[in-house]
Structure 1
């Protein structure tokens, strides 16, 4: 029984690590999409400075956040890129991109 235990523990730990990495990737998708939506809304109302600030408001610098805000016609768009956290620093999983858009708001004349 001890031999079976020693043989299966590494497999169980590997499975737990793989599931945890999948959870981190899913959470990064959620964060990037939400940050892009908030940034686009803030940019549509207040401009580019507010766009970048809104994207960074709830995301720490450990995620390696990059924000691109652009106004295209009547739509204000924001793109947020986040680095994917990994179990070991030498591994590189790339980045995840979230996009959002909002109608540009203009004052009534």
Structure 2
């Protein structure tokens, strides 16, 4: 029966053979610095992903602003008399929109009446990266309507 010393010697020999056959052990310094290299390579991908996510948030927020402004414009237009609908609607839309979205806003079809309905169609442009910088060429359109009153 082999002694416990034999098992220790066999393990030592197996480790020595494994080190001799391993290509990793042939490199001086091992894999030190590998994390830094991988992180540096991933930084552009992480930044592009964050920019795209932020841009998606801005487009979604623009949809929310357009629909809220259209709703508010229609509400004010319906509450006013038929002679004052367009101007009340425009005023309400511009009150509702933040300054950065007012510039590219198209409120030309605001407070018009169609089939006993007062409607407002608001078109905004989503900003690129931050409001007030530049706009995407894709329009964001929202339409709201309510029953006409006070003819």
Q: Please state which band the TM-score falls in when normalised by the shorter chain.
A: 0.7 to 0.9
The alpha carbon displacement at 1:101 in A equals 0.3
CA distance in 1 between counterparts of 2:135 and 2:91 reads 29
Q: TM-score, normalised by structure 1?
A: 0.88
Aligned to 1:79: 121
* 1:1-109 alignment runs, 5 A limit: 1-46=35-80, 47-63=85-101, 64-67=104-107, 68-69=109-110, 70-87=112-129, 92-106=136-150
The alpha carbon displacement at 1:45 in A equals 1.8
CA distance in 2 between counterparts of 1:4 and 1:91 reads 35
Could you say which structure has the greater relative contact order, defined with CA pairs below 8 angstroms and 6 or more residues apart?
Answer: 1
- Quick check: which one's helix share is greater? 2
* Aligned pairs, number: 107
Q: Secondary structure at the match of 2:42?
A: helix
Decide which structure has the larger Cα Rg and report it: 2
Gaps of 5+ in 1: none
